[in-house]
Amino acid sequence: LKPCIRFYSAMLIFAAFTGRATVVFAQESQGSLLRAEANRIMLSELRPVLGTTTQKLLSEYLPSLAGSPGDSPVYIMEGAQPGGTAFICAGTHGNEIAGVVAAALLAEQVNVLSGRVIILPRANRSAASYPDPDRPGPPSIRIATPGGDRIFAYGARRTWPGDEGRPDPLSFSHPDSRLPPLDGNESRNLDRNYPGSAEGGLTARVAYAIENLIKTENVDIAFDLHEANPESKLAWIIVANPKNVDIAAIAALELEGKGVRMALDMSAEEPRGLSHREWGDRTKARAFLIETPNPAQVYPPLHGDPVNDPALPLSRRVAVQLCSIVEIIAAYNDETSPESRVLLENIPSPDEIEARGLGGFLD
Ligand SMILES: [Zn+2]
């Protein structure tokens, strides 16, 4: 009997192995198809106005990112008059789509009168193509315009595990944190990694490149555009570094006068690694984070619609992202010297977006 048992055991192990290999292969090939599609979509996501915009790559601020899934386009719009520099970062979390669409709309519509605007619409490009099994969402969203649908990739909160270049640690602690460690997968959360590390995994290197962009480009005022679960206290909120909370407070009052109610929060000492905390503490930039509520971010998934939810349509969330940026820059301009001001025009107001729809500005 012994050789027989050995034979059947070998057959079982072989079957188990090939079965598993087939599943893994199927997941990977499905993953690479989704990635190819997401990358194709991202190539056409943004249509900045040619002639007024210079395009760079994030790898300019950390060469080891070149050719990696962490590299991403950076658009620079320069005004006719000198002034300060504003930085708009979107797509930190690939599923927080209002920020990405707001960044695209801004890049396509804004007229910079003085100073510069630097836009990074896809801060974590790997996350934008990652179909996270724990937080499923649609692979892309569509916005109807008179000239046809605009399509934006809809990804995940974290970097694709296979892109990180190392397995998740058992737990993750920011070097400056005194809190208990986070789950190891948070090592792939860009907004826990600042100021990043040039020698780290992909996510830490992307964080390093962004922090280096802010320093190298002499950024005066920086925005990180996010969305939150509508049930979270983070929905409809501006978070400001303590050094520039006065600017956020003035902006919140102005917004309220225009019918846009945004709560105000100040970066806490902990957790560390968040953009508004580390950009503001480690660079001269005034640092702000804007959060709108995304109905598709209710977990466990209830399959909320990230675009056409009647109570929280994408058009309203994008409008609030944009008018928050406008009012924060206005408050910054009021307290800064004339040579450091950033003067912008042609950013549509919430009323204009309500009247013409997002498609009217993304055509
Ligand atoms: Zn976020």
Residues 88-141 have pLDDT tens digits of: 999 999 999 999 999 999 999 999 999 999 999 999 999 999 988 888 888 899
Distance (angstroms) between ligand 1 centre and the Cα of 92 equals 6
Q: 66-91: string of b/e by CB count within 10 Å (b at 16+)?
A: eebbbbbbbbbbbbeeebbbbbbbbb
Which pTM was predicted? 0.91
Q: Could you give the CA distance from residue 315 to residue 357 in angstroms, rounded to a whole number?
A: 7
Matching residue, tokens 């480690």: 282
HSE (CB half, 13 Å, CA atoms) of 168? 16
* 331-359 confidence digits (pLDDT tens): 999 999 999 999 999 999 999 999 999 99
Distance (angstroms) between ligand 1 centre and the Cα of 337 equals 32
Q: Where are the beta strands (DSSP E) in the chain?
A: 53-57, 73-78, 81-90, 111-120, 140-143, 150-153, 171-172, 182-183, 221-228, 237-240, 263-266, 286-293, 343-345
The chain-wide mean pLDDT, for the chain, equals 91
Give the list of residues 6+ apart from residue 329 with CB closer than 8 angstroms, or none.
Answer: 86, 221, 342, 344
Question: How much is the pLDDT for 24?
Answer: 42
Distance (angstroms) between ligand 1 centre and the Cα of 68 equals 22
Distance (angstroms) between ligand 1 centre and the Cα of 94 equals 8
Distance (angstroms) between ligand 1 centre and the Cα of 203 equals 14
User: How far does CA 116 lie from the centroid of its chain?
Assistant: 20
Distance (angstroms) between ligand 1 centre and the Cα of 232 equals 12
Distance (angstroms) between ligand 1 centre and the Cα of 137 equals 15
For residues 279-302, average pLDDT: 93
For residues 161-185, average pLDDT: 95
* 33-43 confidence digits (pLDDT tens): 888 888 888 88
Matching residue, tokens 């000239």: 147
* 229-259 confidence digits (pLDDT tens): 998 888 999 999 999 999 999 999 999 999 9
Question: How much is the pLDDT for 29?
Answer: 63
For residues 155-161, average pLDDT: 95
User: Which amino acid is located at 73 in the chain?
Assistant: P
Question: How much is the pLDDT for 50?
Answer: 59
Question: How much is the pLDDT for 38?
Answer: 87
Distance (angstroms) between ligand 1 centre and the Cα of 226 equals 4
Question: How much is the pLDDT for 360?
Answer: 96
Question: How much is the pLDDT for 28?
Answer: 57
Question: How much is the pLDDT for 131?
Answer: 84
Distance (angstroms) between ligand 1 centre and the Cα of 205 equals 18
Q: Return the bridge partners of 104, or none.
A: none
Distance (angstroms) between ligand 1 centre and the Cα of 228 equals 6
Distance (angstroms) between ligand 1 centre and the Cα of 158 equals 10
Tokens of 159: 């970097």
Distance (angstroms) between ligand 1 centre and the Cα of 24 equals 30
Q: Could you give the CA distance from residue 353 to residue 159 in angstroms, rounded to a whole number?
A: 32
Distance (angstroms) between ligand 1 centre and the Cα of 97 equals 10
Distance (angstroms) between ligand 1 centre and the Cα of 281 equals 20
